[in-house]
Amino acid sequence: MGSDMQASIQEGRPQGGPGNKGRRRLARASALALFATLAGYLPLPLLAAGPAPAGEAVLLVVGDSISAEYGLKRGTGWVALLEARLAKESMPVKVVNASISGETTAGGRSRLPALLAAHKPSHVVIELGGNDALRGLPLEMTEAHLTAMVEAARGSGARVLLAGIQVPPNYGRAYTERFAGLFEKVARAQKVAVLPFILAGVADGPQAVRLMQADRIHPNEEAQPRLLDNMWPSLKKLLAKP
């Protein structure tokens, strides 16, 4: 996060000696970049944002920090690795990563209509919900937002995959179990594909200390191939459908 912040500030530095007005404008821009970075809401630049060739599938990923390469070098997250695997498998799929660190289901729901209109995806991955739990938001609210997102994506003609997350047991047994089942509940009701836990074998396995970042919330670079392996069977099946 620190390197991104420095890069944002340095990129805005003029080469010559600015006047007072220029310095004030630069200070405001730098302050905004700093605030966005510290808040964790600086979005990952959209991958493959140009128009897709006719007949090519478009996969839109709407997620949070798990999919937005939080704390990772650009191009090392599971979504970037997915692009490489699709190319290796000779599957012509354009990937658009619209994930934002810190995103909630409410935020994803509000952004989705514009994303659907702009990119016209044939497939949508929704990887949201973890930040709802971190904020202690009502499960009914999370369920409603996920349901609305699935309905909007399906209404646009896209096939949908829900990528779920789980919370540690210190949230209480009742909340933990209800939250864990939330994604499958929505998927069953909406008849869409679901992966119950994207961090399976990473956050809950014997190598969790080695595969997670120091915050114990975000997977590190070494864990990203495992995340893709978790996602791949469901994604490949989804993309194979006409």
Give me the residue spans of the domains in the chain.
2-39, 57-240
pLDDT in tens, 177-198: 999 999 999 999 999 999 999 9
Asked whether the beta carbons of 61 and 67 are under 8 A apart, the reply is yes
Relative orientation angle of helices 20-39 and 2-11, to the nearest 10 degrees: 160
The mean pLDDT value for 172-176 works out to: 90
Asked whether the beta carbons of 127 and 62 are under 8 A apart, the reply is yes
Tell me the C-alpha to C-alpha distance, in Å, between residue 70 and each of 77, 80, 220, 227, 238: 9, 13, 9, 14, 26
Q: Is the pLDDT of residue 103 over 90?
A: yes
Structure token pair of residue 146: 């996920």
**Position 49: which residue type?**
A
Q: Is residue 215 flagged as an active site residue?
A: yes
Averaged pLDDT score across all residues of the chain: 83
**What band does 227 get if pLDDT is binned at 50, 70 and 90?**
very high
Spot the catalytic one: 65, 67, 122, 156: 65
Spot the catalytic one: 30, 99, 218, 234: 218
pTM check: above 0.85: no
Q: Is the pLDDT of residue 208 over 80?
A: yes
The pLDDT value given to residue 241: 75
CATH 3.40.50.1110 describes domain 57-240: yes
The pLDDT value given to residue 203: 95
Q: Is residue 229 flagged as an active site residue?
A: no
